[in-house]
Amino acid sequence: MNIIEKENGIILEEVADFDPKHIFECGQCFRWRAEEDGSYTGVAMGKVINVKREGNDVIIDNTTKEDYENIWRDYFDMDTDYGKIKSTLKEFDEYLDKAVDFGWGIRILRQDSWEMLISFIISSNNRIPMIQRAIENLSERYGKLIGEYRGKKYYAFPTPEELNKATQEEIRECKTGFRDKYIKSTCKSVVELGLDVKNFRKLSTEDCCKELKKFNGVGPKVCDCIALFGMQKIDTFPVDVWVKRVMQEFYIEEDMSLPKMRKFALEKFGDIAGYAQQYLFYYARELGIGK
């Protein structure tokens, strides 16, 4: 892969396994929006960038080669060989084979641990557009202004200290609904105990989950999402409604409980279960499987 600098951005030449639509719409992130030209603009790691694919090239606008090396290379998980993961998954069965071909450009973003903790607390019993709106509201009110891009103002996700300044009522005003108390309680714990949740990455998957579930509003599913998307724990398998539907369609009986479904998938896919979950989720949601 060759990196070329352009006016206010960079071009990554000949990038394999990278498609913005697949990456930003496979249920892992909430701050990316599709533009009319098919590109995506979003906020991550305190910056605003725009990402699009042209042929085999990926164009990242509003950034520098330096930021790519320091931030985006890690964020987009560029040092992981998705070709290898995909061929392993395709070997499993005809369903994975189809799901991987369908979401060929998916990558699991290495997102901020703290942002994922709060984002997935908001996700509980909630729909994606509502989750996106609540996160935007919290960022606008409590996060730092990053600046303007294409005529729109963008705000960073608030730090624990910034968000902890909000009262439960103020958090609710951001359209978080009944999760207001979970967010308040989690902010309070993190700030008062002086925790840096990013350090949970160093723990084993099991211990990491144990720690995450201590926070109010973090149950089994939310915990799996934070571990997978915010802690890079690939041996997890979050079972949401779409994954449940696709599992019932392809692998298991209707009446299997969620914990058993999770166990089944972990045993089947092993330490790449998290990748399998992403391809299956995207496939199920885009095609409306099991609805």
Partner DNA sequence: TGCCAGGAGAAGT
Partner DNA sequence: ACTTCTCCTGGC
Spell out the alpha helix ranges (H) of the chain. 20-24, 65-67, 73-75, 82-92, 94-102, 113-122, 128-142, 160-164, 168-171, 180-192, 205-212, 220-230, 241-250, 258-269, 273-287
Calculate the alpha carbon distances from 223 to 84, 176, 234, 237 in Å: 27, 18, 13, 10
CB of 216 to DNA, least distance (A): 5
Q: Is 141 in the site for DNA (CB under 7 A)?
A: no
Q: 87: which 2 tokens?
A: 């061929």
CB 41 within 8 A of CB 32: yes
CB of 218 to DNA, least distance (A): 5
Q: Which of residues 165-204 bind DNA (CB under 7 A)?
A: 172, 175, 177-178, 182
Q: How far is the CB of 85 from DNA (least distance, A)?
A: 24
For position 254 contacting DNA by CB under 7 A, the verdict is no
Does 241 participate in binding DNA (rule CB under 7 A)? Answer: yes
**Smaller CB distance to DNA: residue 68 or 229?**
229
d(CA 291, CA 285): 9
Binding window for DNA (CB under 7 A); candidates: 91-99, 110-118, 125-133, 273-281 = 125-133
In the complex, what is the shortest distance from the CB of residue 257 to DNA, in angstroms, rounded to a whole number?
Answer: 6
SS (HEC) of 159-215: CHHHHHCCCHHHHHHHHHHHHHHHHHHHHHHHHHCCCCHHHHHHCCHHHHHHHHCCC
Contact present, 226 and 113 (Cβ < 8 Å) = yes
Subset of 206-235 contacting DNA (CB under 7 A): 213, 215-223
- Out of 124, 159, 168, 248, the only residue in the binding site for DNA (CB under 7 A) is 124
Smallest gap from Cβ 56 to DNA, in A, equals 35
How many residues line the site for DNA (CB under 7 A)? Answer: 27
Query: Judged by CB under 7 A, does residue 259 bind DNA?
Result: yes
- 148 three-state secondary structure: strand
Regarding 281 and contact with DNA (CB under 7 A), the answer is: no
Residue 12, beta-bridge partner list: 3, 58
DSSP-derived 3-state class of residue 50: strand
Q: Which is nearer to DNA, 258 or 272 (CB)?
A: 258
Q: Which CB sits closer to DNA, 9 or 27?
A: 27
Q: From the CB of 231, what's the least distance to DNA, in Å?
A: 15
Examine residue 252 and tell whether it contacts DNA (CB under 7 A).
no
CB-wise, 65 or 133, nearer to DNA?
A: 133
CB-based contact 209:223 (threshold 8 Å) = yes
Q: Which residues bind DNA (CB under 7 A)?
A: 123-127, 129-130, 133, 172, 175, 177-178, 182, 213, 215-223, 240-241, 257, 259
